[in-house]
Chain A
Amino acid sequence: MNEIVQGFIEAIELILSLDPDVIEITVRSLYVSLSATFFASLVALPLGAYIYFNEFRGKRAVINLLQTLYALPTVIVGLAVFLMLSRSGPFGFLGMLFTPQGMIVAQTILIIPLITGLTVSALSGIDREMRYTIISLGSSQLQSIITILREARFAILAAVLLGFGRAIAEVGTVMLIGGNIRGFTRVLTTAIALNTSMGNFSFSIALGIILLGVALVVNVVLNLVQER
């Protein structure tokens, strides 16, 4: 209880004092998770719209699979990517393990199914006639996708924000792939995990509050962008 109040106070202090360490990991968190959200959206939104637009055998199965991958534990993604990127793994030569780039890759993989699945379900509520109208206006496959994504932009933005939220809040992959190296790959969540394991609960909570603050800012900004 006390620690929560204490955490709020510390959070305010950290923000006001512009603690350079905290600023550094906050910026890194943002950089990594925004990048991952961007790349994942680039793949997931068109993919989701494609799945929505086209009737094909096994569509239902693909959707089920995507929804199953909602339950993909971050540690497992972290492990799999780790095994790929590790020195003895097939992509070891890239030297991406324990780098922010590696963390971006892992988070991107983590949230692609999420954003794709949510895109499909966001679009599922759209009238059949809307789809017909788009097609009959002579759209190409790509144009259809862009139009429908724009039409459902509120729900699509929600999907992207969820992806971002998941990325910036997750600790499993960034811990395994980034390694929580101070000054290099430490991000807010790994710092929170570290401080928790050290028993610095109020500091953890302070960092958590900062993380939520950052998410709120991203949220508001993206909402404003969406409304143009």
Chain B
Amino acid sequence: MLSAILVAIIATMSTWWVSHVITRTWLYPLWAGFLVALAMGQPVEGMKAAAYIQLTYLGWITAGGTMPGNLMVAGVFGTALTLVSGADPSLAPTFAVPFSLLGILSFQAYMTINSIWIHKADKYALEGDLTKLRFMNYVPSGILSFILNGIPAFILVYYGGDVTTRALAAIPTSIITAFSVVGALMPALGIAMLLSYLSKKKIVGFFFAGYFLTVYLHLDTMAITIFAAIIGVLIYFFTTDKKTGVAE
């Protein structure tokens, strides 16, 4: 019972980012799953399950509010189900992946419903009522996350994983694969949103430069970041120049 409540809280907070000072790492299975492991009193087994899940998501990214799978749900639910069902930690990803994909839907719901509170907040802003505005930022979204994530987590842990395991097993592989494709496509949205903030005709070529340098030269992200920074600095100095002559 206690552990079910604790897991429900973890599940709630891992999506309701009350403050990234605390919750930023709760996005990642390694930490959120470890917390679940502690809550369920099986730290080592749970940690390993969490690590197995984590490893399959090292390339995961969220940009522009979108994500290629709900990593928070994957970490928390995947670890919990592994422990509840007593399965070997190395099987954790098998449990986690369907959650991650279904979780896209719940995240979608969360992101859509939250728009309601912001309209309320608009009203308080107009009135200059800062306290109520603050309330709008924190409370309704928390309750929403509890409903969407906390309650299911409670049920999963409290009523045992049998049903869930069977339910998951019932999902045909073709659906899992289909959701994986959706997940694989999802970063395109986040990246395209950043693109649409950034791209002016003049410089959009750099997007393609980054893309094809990565594709053809197999450079990793760090390398591209370094070269991008060098190029940025050089452009800065070489175009400043225009007004002041060539020499510094």
A and B bind: no
